[in-house]
Structure formats: C-alpha cells, structure tokens
Amino acid sequence: MLNLIASSSLLAAGWGTNLMIIGLLILALLMMVLLGIIAFFFRLWIQSIWTGAGITLFDLMAMTIRNVNAKMIVRGKIMAVQAGLGDASGITSKALEAHYLAGGNVPQVIKSMIAANKAKTIQLTFREATAIDLAGRDVLEAVQTSVYPKVIDCPPRNAKRTSLDAMAKNGIQLKVKARVTVRANLQRLIGGATEETIIGRVGEGIVSAIGSADTHSQVLENPDLISKAVLSRRLDANTAFEIVSIDIADIDVGENIGARLQADQAEADTQVARARAEGRRAMAVAEERENLAEIENARAMVVDAEADVPKAIAEAFRSGQLSIMDYYSLRNVQADTDMRKSIAQTSNSPTPAQK
C-alpha cells in the first residue's frame, strides 16, 4: 500500500514537470514571435516616434492584418508631419489607410498637399485631394499647374491640321495658330472638362472672331482683337482650368475663297444659261419642223385641189358650159403667164459680171 502511494506521487510529480516544460516552451515561442514582430516593425516604429507621426506598434500590426502597406503609410504620415501638416489637416493614419484601401495613391496625395501648403495661394484640403486622386486625375500635376500655368497649343501639335482656318467677310482665308495659357482650378477639377474642351472652345472662338471681321487686314493689323473676343466669351466655364491668356502665335493668309466661290457660282450660272439656251434651241427646231410639216400638208392640199381642175374642165365640156375656143384661150393665157414668169426670173438673176 505504501509502495502504491509512493508510485502515484512520483507519477503526479512527473506530469507536473511535463506541463511546466510545455508551458515554458509555449511562452518562449510567444516571446520569439513577439520579438520577431517587434524586430520587423521596430525601424518604422522608431521613425514614427522620433518624427512625431503618432503611429504605435499596435497600429503597425493592425495595418499588416488589414493588408495595408505599413511602410507607405508611415512614410506618408512622416512627410506630412515634417511639412507641418498634422491631424488638424485631416491627414491621420486612419484616413491614409482608408485612401490606400480605396485604391488611391497615398504618396501622390501627400506630395500634392505639401506643394499646396508651400504655395500659400492654393486652398486644397485632404478630402479634396483624395477625391481628385480617386477620380483618376493626377492631383500633384494639378497643383503644379495651379502654381505654374500650363501652355496648350491650339490646334495640338499631333493634330492632322496644323492651323485653324477661318474666312473673313471679304472672302480671304486666314490660317491661325494660338497658344492658350491655363491654370488648374482645383475646386472644379472633379467633374470639369479637360484640355480637349478648352482647345475646341478656343478654336471655335477664333473662327467666329475672324468670321465677324469685315476684312482680313483688320485681323492682320490687330491680332489682339481675336484674343479679346475669345476671352470675353468665358470659354473656361465648367472646365477644370482657368484661361489666363490667349496668344496668337502665327497668322498666314490663305486662299481667296470668296473669289473662288464667285467663280464657281459664275460657272454654275453659265451652265444654267447654256442649258436654258439649249432648251430654247430645241424648242425652235421642233417648232420649225412643225411648220415644215404644215407646209407639206398645205402643198398636198394644193396638189389635191389641182387634181380636181381637169375633172372640172371635163365636166364643163360635157355640160356645154365651156367651149373648145374658150379652153384654148385659157391655155394661151396660161402659156403667156408662164412666159412672163420665165422672163422675169431671167431678168432678176445676176449676170456673170455681177457675180
């Protein structure tokens, strides 16, 4: 009995020792994992502490669990803090994480905020910057364009036509090249029209201004008339830019389109007149042929009437109304008439000397 109790005590002591060893191993493993995590985030954590970014070690671990690039967030927050943009500007680690998870470009947004803050003349909030970035626009380029205006060629250099062609009221064509200086409007960047709209509107305004000029010489003498007319139309409405100036870079005189149009119109009028004359000639020919047909019809009627004369003479002989002497007298009169006609024709014909 004493031996059984002693063996039970030894077995219980062995199980206690094993449990203690297992607990120590688990604790050592947890310590190793913790030390590994601390070693992995130690550099970022130290950078955050020294720069005052305010990102804790637990925040870094939570970023990794949420599949967020912790290095990018820490670097972005450090850049913002060093530039004087802290949580008061809306640039918090949570806001940066949310923008990253939404597919935004965190470094680009931070750089744009720093550039706007340094410029002093640009009002750009973190909310606006993230909205512009998520809309697919380059927010840093927009800020740079606000600080340093951008020059747009009109028409663009890669366009098929190298100039804007317009015609003055006197019919002379002018070929114009313009340069538009624009500044980005950050408040209208979301939903505002792009450079293509600016180019199209400016081109339309230039063509309209030249078309309203009485002569092309007026435009050549004062190219600023085009700029003033175009600027007065507020072409930058509902666009992402503000037009600073419109400069006429080059003006060339083209074709005399008015004269060419007049020549084409005269040629068309000539063809119409020829067609009408041809119609009148055809009508005259048809009328002449109708008259000839009527003449032939009259001749046929005369021949038909002359055919009845011998019948009438024979009937007069039979009825006794016409005697043989009367008939011969009629024949003599006819012969005398024919002779007089032949003499008259001979006397009226030209002599060889007259020919």
- My answer on whether 140 and 54 are in the same domain is yes
CATH number at residue 249: 3.30.479.30
- My answer on whether 176 and 128 are in the same domain is no
In a domain, 38, yes or no: no
- My answer on whether 247 and 226 are in the same domain is yes
In a domain, 281, yes or no: no
In a domain, 304, yes or no: no
In a domain, 30, yes or no: no
Number of domains in the chain: 2
- Residue 94 pLDDT: 87
In a domain, 123, yes or no: yes
Q: Which residues of the chain have pLDDT under 70?
A: 1-19, 23-25, 27-41, 88, 322, 347-355
- Residue 29 pLDDT: 67
In a domain, 112, yes or no: yes
The answer to whether the beta carbons of residues 237 and 191 sit under 8 Å apart is: no
- My answer on whether 100 and 178 are in the same domain is no
CA pair distance 262, 105, nearest whole angstrom: 61
Domain extent for 194: 148-256
- My answer on whether 110 and 173 are in the same domain is no
Give the domain-ending residue among 89, 123, 146.
146
In a domain, 63, yes or no: yes
With tokens 């119109």, the residue in question is 265
Answer whether 0.85 is exceeded by the pTM.
no
In a domain, 331, yes or no: no
The answer to whether the beta carbons of residues 89 and 108 sit under 8 Å apart is: no
Q: Which residues contact 109 (CB under 8 A, 6 or more apart)?
A: 76, 99, 126, 129, 130, 133, 139
Query: What percentage of the chain has pLDDT greater than the value 70?
Result: 85
